[in-house]
Amino acid sequence: MQSPVEIIPHSSGVVGVSWLMIVLPLLGAAILLLSGRRTDRWGHFLGVAMVLASFVVAVASFVELLGLPEDQRRMGVALYQFIPGMADMGLLIDPLSISFALLITGVGSLIHIYSIGYMSHDPDRRRFFAYLNLFVAAMLLLVLADNYVALFIGWEGVGLASYLLIGFWQHKPSAAAAAKKAFIVNRVGDFGLLIAIFTIWTTFGSVAFAKVFPLAGEASNGTMTAVGLLLLLGACGKSAQLPLQSWLLDAMEGPTPVSALIHAATMVTAGVYLIVRSGAFFEVAPTAQLVVTIVGVATLLAGAIIGSAKDDIKKGLAGSTMSQIGYMMLAAGIGPAGYAFAIAHLITHGFFKANLFLGAGSVMHGMNDEVDMRRYGGLFPVMRITAITFIIGYLAIIGFPLLSGYFTKDGIIETAMEHNQILGWLAVLGAGLTGFYMSRMVFMTFFGKKRWADDAHPHESPAVMTVPLILLSIGSIFLGAFLILGNRFMKFLAPAVGLPEELPVFHFGSTAGLATLALVAVGAVFAWFRYGAADVPEVAPRGSFLTTFARRDLYGDALNETLLMRPGQWLTRFAVFFDNRGVDGLVNGLAATIGGTSGRLRRIQTGYVRSYALSILFGAAVVVGALLYVGNM
């Protein structure tokens, strides 16, 4: 492998002010939150403007980066001392971070614009935009940070934004519960990340990427494996990978643009970013890498299975997101050969999944916020733009030849196949499942019989919503080919993550590729027979064991409940009881004992002067005896 280039301090040009990318949306959020109802009328425009401005800065930085020779394409921007002697606030502008920045601000802008329409009837639209802006700022800090502490601030910042946005409709108890669950499950991951940072600090005496990565090879294998696994735990939390996947499906309680931006395109991919960014550690810890790939494959299958059984369109898409991130994890675990594919798939996935989610949102917008696909059907004629863009996204995700997903997913599968046959074939199987569940979704939604609710009057969404859809679908078509063909993206990323020793060559019609296509086709055809050609019942049939298994999210929640929540509740109850009766009881018992003893001792005071006199006489006798004794000694 070709090692990444060193980070060069940089303080001029657009990159010198790249912190504006973060500060602008943060400012937007602050203004919107502090100004109160005064800015209700134009607040959403401010939110959009801030993200667009941030996008402009990102593009400008990107252009400046491209203008530099390849060995100078890692620029460090020092900002200020954060914790003196430990961590400084600084940004790292390199191909990896700028790719993310472009994705976040670009897709983010589109989703902001879309939200103007989607949230137009919500009285709290201003607050919504404030949270979205906050999210963009935190996400940018996450990807642009030049050290783990700053990264962690962004990491938790996006968690907060995710919490606020999932629970945006707080009056719904389910939304509030889902938000809390997301945050807490994420915290479990954060625990891993924190310990990883501690270990990095104690191992290298620094948390800055520039300092620690070059030293990775010198640390012991055990340490690096531990760091790798801990980082993976963090990544699992954020990216909803097994075993911390359970929050993502509940997170669909949030407004649909949130699901598109946070729970599909950007935040959930932060785990992949973390693994790729920390590639230097993983490369010296093959065990950790292996675990990453296993987690990736397990999740990609689990997500696909869950996605196949959900009737809620958003939950179906959430399962799909899990599955796709599983692909990215798989690629990220393979090493430098997979990094480029992981990130490329991440970017194309950002486009087509945002496209799909926004499309789903558009459908819901027209269907009185109905999310049950069994109540859709035959929507194609009434919302053509939504339907066509959705179908483009669908074709992209299942890997229809020449669309985005085809290139990136195929790249991952082939790399995996070279790396490990079992993983490769499992990934192929996952692709087949993708073909099935996505087709099922499209057929149930846009084709077949109308199964609408009586009061549903589906209609096409306004332009402010459809234009972002169109733009995203254009990305969904062409981005994959642009990134993958000629290893363009791999070479671009090289300064950040290095290059594999042997550059892959993309060839159409490889064994794995053909097998994938065949399986996808089988899945799609099967879906057509079940949900396109046949009538879909309006109430879900009981289904087989497997269906129930998938509908219950593979019993993930039940497992959490039995293994963690119940014992936790018992422990809490016991601890409260122990505190009241045990610790406090001990203290109060001691007090009561003293009180009781003195109460009994008090009885010696009979009030009879003769008793007192008796004790005085005894005392006198003792004194005389003592005097005699001492005198005789």
Least Å distance, CB 187 to another protein, is: 4
Tokens representing residue 223 in the block = 């340490």
Beta carbon nearer to another protein, 42 or 618: 618
Cα–Cα distances (Å) from 62 to 190, 376, 546, in that order, read 30, 43, 47
Q: Reading across the β-sheet that carries 87-93, which strands appear in turn?
A: 8-9, 75-83, 87-93
List the interface residues with another protein, window 143-172 (CB under 8 A): 149, 152-153, 155-157, 160, 163, 167, 170-172
Specify the stretch interacting with another protein by CB under 8 A; choose among 185-193, 347-355, 361-369, 512-520: 185-193
Beta carbon nearer to another protein, 255 or 333: 255
**For 82, which DSSP code?**
E
Q: With contact defined as beta carbons under 8 Å apart, do 156 and 164 qualify?
A: no
Beta carbon nearer to another protein, 194 or 477: 194
Helices 404-419 & 336-366, crossing angle to 10 degrees?
Answer: 140
The closest of 241, 215, 266, 342 to 109, measured between CA atoms, is 266
List the interface residues with another protein, window 589-608 (CB under 8 A): 591, 602-603, 605-608
Least Å distance, CB 158 to another protein, is: 11
Under rule CB under 8 A, residue 3 binds another protein: no
Residue in 60, 201, 229, 402 binding another protein, rule: CB under 8 A: 201
3-state secondary structure 399-445: CCCCCHHHHHHHHHHHHHHHHCHHHHHHHHHHHHHHHHHHHHHHHHH
Residue in 135, 204, 400, 443 binding another protein, rule: CB under 8 A: 204
Beta carbon nearer to another protein, 22 or 392: 22
Least Å distance, CB 258 to another protein, is: 16
The closest of 281, 280, 325 to 299, measured between CA atoms, is 325
Residue in 69, 121, 173, 507 binding another protein, rule: CB under 8 A: 173
How far apart CA 469 and CA 387 sit, in angstroms, is 10
Under rule CB under 8 A, residue 17 binds another protein: no
Under rule CB under 8 A, residue 219 binds another protein: yes
Cross-strand bridge partners of residue 2: 499
How far apart CA 328 and CA 367 sit, in angstroms, is 33
Specify the stretch interacting with another protein by CB under 8 A; choose among 219-227, 371-379, 406-414, 520-528: 219-227
Least Å distance, CB 255 to another protein, is: 16
Tokens representing residue 243 in the block = 């075993």
**# of chain residues touching another protein (CB under 8 A):** 86
How far apart CA 109 and CA 125 sit, in angstroms, is 16
Residue in 571, 592, 593, 595 binding another protein, rule: CB under 8 A: 571
Beta carbon nearer to another protein, 232 or 302: 232
Least Å distance, CB 243 to another protein, is: 15
How far apart CA 559 and CA 563 sit, in angstroms, is 6
List the interface residues with another protein, window 65-84 (CB under 8 A): 80-84
Pairs from 179-184 (Cβ < 8 Å, separation ≥ 24): 179/251, 179/253, 179/254, 181/246, 181/247, 181/250, 182/247, 182/248, 182/250, 182/251, 183/159
> Which residue has tokens 């042997």?
502
Residue in 41, 539, 632, 633 binding another protein, rule: CB under 8 A: 632
The closest of 255, 427, 421, 418 to 330, measured between CA atoms, is 427
List the interface residues with another protein, window 39-68 (CB under 8 A): none
For residue 28, the Cα-to-chain-centroid distance in whole angstroms is 23
List the interface residues with another protein, window 19-38 (CB under 8 A): 33, 36
Residue in 49, 52, 215, 540 binding another protein, rule: CB under 8 A: 215
Beta carbon nearer to another protein, 135 or 394: 135
Specify the stretch interacting with another protein by CB under 8 A; choose among 94-102, 213-221, 292-300, 482-490: 213-221
Specify the stretch interacting with another protein by CB under 8 A; choose among 281-289, 385-393, 518-526, 624-632: 624-632
Specify the stretch interacting with another protein by CB under 8 A; choose among 109-117, 216-224, 315-323, 488-496: 216-224
In the Cβ-directed half-sphere of 42, how many Cα atoms lie within 13 Å? 4
